[in-house]
C-alpha cells in the first residue's frame, strides 16, 4: 500500500508531467487567397481583396490572426447598385477594427456587429446585402473562434479529414441569411438579418491544421472529397505552397462552375428541393487557405 507521502509525490509528478506537455508556444495562421469573379475568366482582383462581388480580408493583431469573407448579393445590380460595394466595405471595416485592436478574439460576432453598425451610421449612402464569415485564431489559447452568417463558411482539416466545419444558414433554398442596408422607407421589404443571428463556434486547433474559408462559389461547386484531394497536394507550410494550392482549388471550382454536365453540390441541393437542375453554379469564388503554424514575429 502506498503511503500518503508517496501518493502525493506521484500526483505531483503527474501534474508536472501534464504541464510540461502543454504547448506554450503562440500559434499563427499562414494564409493565402485566390478567387475568380464570375464575369471574368481570369483570377484577377477586381479591386483590393475583391473577386467579383465577393470580398475578403486578412488581418493580424498582437493577440490574434483574423480573416473573413463576404459574398455580395448580386440581385442589387437590378436596382443600379454595385453589390461589391457593400461586401467590400464590410470587410474593409472589419479589417480596420482588427488592426486597431477594437475586438475580442473570443467574440468574432462582435467584429461583425461593430462593422455592420458603422456601415448603418455611415454618412455616405451605402446600399446592399452580403453574407459574412469571420475566423479568429487566438494565438495563446490555440483556439479558433468563428462567426458565420449565411452560406459562406469554413472547414478545418486535420490528417486529411474534415474535423470541423461551419453550418450553412438559409431562410429557404438559395436565400441565405444576410446583412443588409435598404433604401429609406424600404427596410421592411428587404431581407435583413441581425449579426447576432450568426452561427458561432469555438474549436481547439493544432499545428499543421488546415483552415479553408470561402464563399459559396466554392462549396456550391466542389464537394468535400474534391477539396480534400487538392489539399493533399499541400506538402509545405510556406506561403508560396499555400498560395499555389489555394489557386488550384479556386481554379477547379471555377472550371466546374461552367460545366453543364456536372452534378454540382448546388444542383444536388436544388433537386432535393424539387427543382430540375444540372451543372455547376456560375458564381464569384473566393478562397482563403490557412495553415496553423508556430508564431514568429
Assess if residue 163 is contained within a domain: yes
Burial class (CB within 10 angstroms; exposed 0-12, middle 13-18, buried 19+) of 100: exposed
Q: Could you tell me the three cell numbers for 227?
A: 477539396
CATH number at residue 133: 3.60.40.10
Pairwise CA distance, residues 128 & 271, whole Å = 29
Identify the pLDDT of residue 113: 98
Would you write out the chain's pLDDT as a tens digit for each of its 297 residues?
344 334 344 333 433 344 335 788 999 999 999 999 987 544 444 455 788 999 999 999 999 999 999 999 999 999 999 999 999 999 999 999 999 999 999 999 999 999 999 999 986 789 999 999 999 999 999 999 999 999 999 999 999 999 999 999 999 999 999 999 998 877 778 899 999 999 999 999 999 999 999 999 999 999 999 999 999 989 888 999 999 999 999 999 999 999 999 999 999 999 999 999 999 999 999 999 999 999 987
Assess if residue 2 is contained within a domain: no
Q: Could you tell me the three cell numbers for 91?
A: 470587410
Assess if residue 215 is contained within a domain: yes
Q: Could you tell me the three cell numbers for 104?
A: 475580442
Domain range for 187 is 27-294
Pairwise CA distance, residues 294 & 28, whole Å = 6
Identify the pLDDT of residue 48: 59
Assess if residue 112 is contained within a domain: yes
Assess if residue 11 is contained within a domain: no
Assess if residue 73 is contained within a domain: yes
Assess if residue 50 is contained within a domain: yes
Q: Is the pTM of this model over 0.85?
A: yes
Domain count across the chain: 1
Assess if residue 123 is contained within a domain: yes
Amino acid at each position: 500500500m502506498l503511503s500518503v507521502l508517496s501518493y502525493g509525490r506521484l500526483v505531483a509528478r503527474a501534474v508536472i508531467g501534464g504541464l510540461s506537455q502543454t504547448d506554450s508556444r503562440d500559434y499563427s495562421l499562414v494564409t493565402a487567397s485566390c478567387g475568380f469573379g464570375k464575369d471574368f475568366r481570369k483570377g484577377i482582383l477586381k479591386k483590393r481583396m475583391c473577386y467579383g462581388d465577393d470580398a475578403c480580408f486578412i488581418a493580424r493583431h498582437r493577440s490574434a490572426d483574423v480573416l473573413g469573407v463576404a459574398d455580395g448579393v448580386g440581385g442589387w445590380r437590378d436596382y443600379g447598385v454595385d453589390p461589391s460595394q457593400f461586401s467590400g466595405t464590410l470587410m474593409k471595416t472589419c479589417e480596420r477594427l482588427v488592426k486597431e485592436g477594437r475586438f475580442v478574439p473570443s467574440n468574432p460576432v462582435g467584429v461583425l456587429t461593430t462593422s455592420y453598425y458603422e456601415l448603418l451610421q455611415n454618412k455616405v449612402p451605402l446600399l446592399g446585402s452580403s453574407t459574412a464569415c469571420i475566423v479568429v485564431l487566438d494565438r495563446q489559447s490555440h483556439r479558433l473562434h468563428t462567426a458565420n452568417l449565411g452560406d459562406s463558411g469554413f472547414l478545418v482539416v486535420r490528417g486529411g479529414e474534415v474535423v470541423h466545419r461551419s453550418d450553412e444558414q438559409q431562410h429557404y433554398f438559395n436565400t441565405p441569411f444576410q446583412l443588409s442596408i435598404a433604401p429609406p422607407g424600404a427596410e421592411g421589404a428587404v431581407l435583413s438579418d441581425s449579426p447576432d443571428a450568426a452561427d458561432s463556434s469555438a474549436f481547439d486547433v493544432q499545428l499543421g491544421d488546415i483552415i479553408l474559408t470561402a464563399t459559396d462559389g466554392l462549396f456550391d461547386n466542389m464537394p468535400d472529397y474534391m477539396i480534400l484531394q487538392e489539399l493533399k497536394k499541400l506538402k509545405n507550410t510556406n506561403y508560396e505552397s499555400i498560395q499555389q494550392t489555394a489557386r488550384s482549388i479556386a481554379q477547379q471550382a471555377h472550371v466546374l462552375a461552367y460545366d453543364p454536365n456536372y452534378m454540382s453540390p448546388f444542383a444536388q441541393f436544388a433537386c432535393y428541393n424539387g427543382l430540375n437542375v444540372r451543372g455547376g453554379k456560375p458564381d464569384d469564388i473566393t478562397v482563403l487557405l490557412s495553415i496553423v503554424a508556430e508564431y514568429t514575429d
